Structure 1
């Protein structure tokens, strides 16, 4: 149907891939533990939105550019690495415990729009995700439909849907465990530092990723 072959196998393989820990998993866990359930959920939705964009790129054939052009690949890669390093440094520069307590009572607010957009950028600026869609999806598409975007979109949306459900579960689970911990500002400060360190490590890892 629609040029898709072995759809059941695709769904099973997709779920197993979703369950495999990766950069997106660490990002969502970091946000959920450090900033709570809402930040975790918005991070998960941002990651899913980024994956959806990659899916559209793959369907339109734009991902082939990343696969064939080292320059395009490196531009996206280093932009993503710099962005992750920026997020990490921002968290490492979190204010001291006393200042945080005062601001929490008065003006401290999490910019949830920024959290969502960060999730999108973190995923979109990872060229490996684009190459994954380009390499994985065609294995389940009839060669006669290789130039038809419909099977790409169906498979991509299926993968994004299962991935979103898993990411939302992760965000709820991590936030539930950390709610009581985050009420202690000193521990929250260290969680911010830990999350920032994770983002920096992910950024460095992405920077050294080869095409």
Structure 2
């Protein structure tokens, strides 16, 4: 495996830079962690990590090369992701603060089911054009026809684990007592701000 050490270092370095750069996955985990709970953020992180393997599988199947040469297929993925972000963003913008103490209490206890939290993270990454471009780059530049399958799987594992670790850290930090105690009364506005950010990300994807 030592002959692939350079490729492993390259993939790891690019994966770290990619995962910490703000994007739709970061916005998704931030939203879930601040608005709902640490659990929602962490489960969403697992959804993102699992979605990485979707990219790995189509790359191993050679579909990455097809996508890179087909403007229609790439555009299809890009616009699907943009519309999903826009949908979540609009939901956030339309979020209304309840009237009365009882409603405020219910709002502060708003929860997101495990399945929905996982699905949000999974879909966010699966339809993330930045991730698609990343895998197109990795599997067309770093990976060669001579690269064994097990090494390609290792590359995928590195990328998946990097995403999982980073977004769990984000979820834990943003859902800490020090932060949540300060934002409790501003949740509705945070939801709207995050909704605006998601809509802007969608617009950026569509315009790019």
TM-score by length of 1: 0.84
Residue deviations 1:59-79, cap 9 Å, x none? 121222221111111111111
Number of corresponding residues: 205
SS in 1 for 2:4: coil
* Residue aligning to 2:200: 201
Matched, 1:95 2:103: no
Q: Distance in 2 between matches of 1:39 and 1:100?
A: 25
CA contact (8 A) 2:30 2:174 kept: yes
Deviation at 1:83, TM superposition (A): 0.9
SS in 1 for 2:146: helix
* Residue aligning to 1:114: 116
Residue deviations 1:70-104, cap 9 Å, x none? 11111111111111111111111112242684274
CA contact (8 A) 1:60 1:149 kept: no
CA contact (8 A) 1:96 1:189 kept: yes
CA contact (8 A) 1:2 1:151 kept: no
SS in 2 for 1:183: helix
Q: Distance in 1 between matches of 2:83 and 2:189?
A: 23
SS in 1 for 2:32: helix
Matched, 1:15 2:12: no
**Stretches of structure 2 lacking an aligned partner (at least 5 in a row):** none
Matched, 1:31 2:41: no
Q: Distance in 2 between matches of 1:82 and 1:120?
A: 15
Residues 56-65 or 96-105, more deviating:
96-105
Residue deviations 1:155-211, cap 9 Å, x none? 111121122101110111111143213432xx11111111111111111111123xx
Deviation at 1:5, TM superposition (A): 4.5
Deviation at 1:10, TM superposition (A): 3.2
> What is the Cα-based RMSD across aligned positions, in Å?
2.5
* Residue aligning to 1:157: 157
Q: 1:206 to 1:114 in 2, by over 3 A?
A: same
Q: 1:129 to 1:109 in 2, by over 3 A?
A: closer
Q: Distance in 2 between matches of 1:198 and 1:149?
A: 39
* Residue aligning to 2:138: 136
Q: Distance in 2 between matches of 1:100 and 1:144?
A: 65
CA contact (8 A) 1:64 1:134 kept: yes
TM-score by length of 2: 0.85
Q: Distance in 1 between matches of 2:101 and 2:77?
A: 35
* Residue aligning to 2:171: 171
**Stretches of structure 1 lacking an aligned partner (at least 5 in a row):** none
